Amino acid sequence: MTQHSPVLLVLVLIPLVGSLAVFSLKEAQAKLAKQLSLAVSLIVAVYAIVLLFTFDGGGKRFQYVGSWHWIKAFGVHLSFGVDGIALVLVAMSVLLVPAVILASWNALDSKAGAEELNPAVKRRSVKNYFALLLLLEFFMVCVFTAMDVFLFYVFFEAMLVPMYFIIGSFGGPRRQYAAMKFFLYSLVGGLLMLASVIGLYVTSDVKSFSITTLIAHPLPDNNTQKWLFLGFFIAFAIKAPLVPFHTWLPDAGAEAPAGGAALLVGVLDKVGTFGFLRYCLPLFPAASRWFAPAILILSVIGILYAAFLAIGQRDMKRLVAYTSVAHFGFIGLGIFAFTTQSGTGAVLYMVNHGFSTGALFIVVGLLIARGKSRNVDDYGGVAKVAPILAGLFLVTGLSALALPGLSTFISEFLVLVGTFTRHKGLAVLATTGIILAAIYVLYLYQRTFQGRVNERVTKFRDLNAREILAVAPLLAVIVFLGVYPKPVLDVINPAVKATLHDVGHDKDPAPKYGTAVGGQK
C-alpha cells in the first residue's frame, strides 16, 4: 500500500532547495551564501531533533513512512522511513553540518584562512563549496531514510559526486589523486552492489525493492544468497572502510578540506556500517551468519593494524583517518557478534564516532590553518600560545581514545562486553586497541601542544567565538551522551533487537559466572 506521510520528504527537500538557492547566487555574494547555508542547516537540524523526540521507541519498527510510485513497472518507489538506527544517524549527520559550515566560514576567503597553502584552492568558488555541503547533506539524509533498495543504491552512488568535488576542488596539494582514488574505490563497490540489487530482484519471489517486503520474504539458504551478500558486503566494507578495503581513506581524509573530512569520516563512512545492519543482516540472514567469523577476524585485525599505523604517522590528518579505520573495526565487531549489547554498542559507536571524529577533524583543521602544515614535527608548545585550542583538542582527543565519562567509552564498552559473551578471544584482542588508542592520541597531543614553543607557533592566535561555537556543541553532545546515554539507547534498542531477530539471533548467550550460591550453576 502506498503511504503519503510528508514528514521525511520535507526533511529531504529542505537541504536540496537550500543547495540550489546557494548555487544560484553570484560569486560576489559569498557572505550571503554562507549565511543562507548556515540558516538552512540549522533548520534541518532543528527539524531532525523534533523527529527524534517525537519518535515512538515502543511503536512500529519503521515510522514517518512515506512512499510514492517511481518506476511502477519494476515496483520501484520513492519510499522514505526510519527505524531507531537510521533516525539517530540522521540526527548525528545534520548536527555536524552547521558545525562544519561555521568552522569553514573563512577557510577559502584569504591566505590567512586557506588551510592547505594551495593557491588553486583560494581561487575556487566560495559559494559553490557551501552549496556542495548542503547538497551532500541532502544525499546523506536520503541514504539513511530510503526504504527502497533501488532508491538506496541511487543515493549511495549519487552522494559520491558532491564529496568528489569537495575533495578535488577544495582539498590539499594531492587533492585530485585523492578524489579520484575515493571515487574509483567507491564506484567499484557500487557496481558490485548494483549486480547484487539486480540479482536480489530476479531471485526473490516477491519481485519488489521494498525493504520491509524483502525482510518478510528472505531468500533461501543457498549459494545464491552468499554471492548476493558478498556484493552488498564488499560495497559497504569499502565505504566503511574495513581492512583490507581501507586504503582510499587516509589519502581522502588527508587531502579533503577539514570540513569535508569531518563529513567524509563522520557521516559518509557510516553508510557502510549502516548498510551492514539495514541490508546485509536482514536480507541475507544465513549468509551473514556464515561469513560472520571471517568478518570478526578482519575487524580485530583492522583495530590493531590501523592503530599501529596511526602511531607512526607524522601527518595529523592521516593519523586521524587511521584512527577511524581502527574505530570501524570496533563497529564491525559489534555488528557481527550478534548480541543485543554489541549491536546497540555498535550503533551508538557510529553516532559517537561521528561527533568525536568530526570535532577532531575540525580542531585539527583549525590548527593547520594557523600553522600552514600538517606535519606534527612543525608544532610544539601550542598550549602556551593558544590554550583554548589546546583544551578543545585535548577533549576531542580523549573522546577518540574512549575516556570514561565521554560518549565513546559507553559504546566501546557495550561492544566489548557483548562480543565477550560469544567470542572471548576476539574481545580480549580488541581490548588492546584501547591501549594503542591512548598511545597515538596522547603522543600526538604531547608533540603538538606540549614542550618547547616552536618558532612557527609563537604568533598563533587562539580560537575566536565563531570557531569555539563550531566545536562546543559537538563536545557538549559527547559529554552528555557519556554521562546519560539512555535517551539514545532507548531509540536504538528496539531496532537492534528487530535486526537480530531477522538474522536469527533472538536471544543473547547467558553469561557464565561460575558456581552460584548453593552449588548450582
Asked if residue 369 lies in contact with residue 361, where contact means CB atoms within 8 angstroms, the answer is no
pLDDT given at position 467: 92
Q: Extract the residue ranges of the chain whose pLDDT is less than 70.
A: 1-3, 109-123, 510-521
pLDDT given at position 3: 65
Task: Look up residue 302 and give its amino acid.
Answer: G
Residue 404 C-alpha cell reads as 570514561
Longest dimension (CA), the chain: 81
Q: How far apart are CA 189 and CA 225, in angstroms?
A: 18
Q: How far apart are CA 429 and CA 433, in angstroms?
A: 8
SS (H, E, C) 357-392: HHHHHHHHHHHHHHHCCCEHHHCCCHHHHCHHHHHH
Residue 147 C-alpha cell reads as 526504504
Asked if residue 253 lies in contact with residue 324, where contact means CB atoms within 8 angstroms, the answer is yes
Q: How far apart are CA 32 and CA 12, in angstroms?
A: 22
Residue 124 C-alpha cell reads as 575556487
Contacts with 464 (C-beta within 8 Å, 6 or more apart), sequence order: none
Contacts with 85 (C-beta within 8 Å, 6 or more apart), sequence order: 274, 277, 278, 347, 492, 495, 496, 499
Task: Look up residue 66 and give its amino acid.
Answer: G
Asked if residue 23 lies in contact with residue 126, where contact means CB atoms within 8 angstroms, the answer is no
Asked if residue 40 lies in contact with residue 14, where contact means CB atoms within 8 angstroms, the answer is yes
Q: What is the pTM of this model?
A: 0.92
Q: Is the peptide bond before 244 cis (omega within 30 degrees of 0)?
A: yes
Q: Which of 215, 488, 153, 513 is nearest to 354 (CA)?
A: 488
Asked if residue 347 lies in contact with residue 412, where contact means CB atoms within 8 angstroms, the answer is no
Asked if residue 310 lies in contact with residue 322, where contact means CB atoms within 8 angstroms, the answer is yes
Residue 418 C-alpha cell reads as 557483548
Q: Which of 229, 401, 236 is nearest to 303 (CA)?
A: 401
pLDDT given at position 123: 56
pLDDT given at position 107: 82
CB environment 138-160: b (16+ within 10 A), e (fewer): bbbbbbbbbbbbbbbbbbbbebb
Q: How far apart are CA 63 and CA 415, in angstroms?
A: 27
Q: How far apart are CA 434 and CA 426, in angstroms?
A: 14
pLDDT given at position 514: 47
pLDDT given at position 490: 93
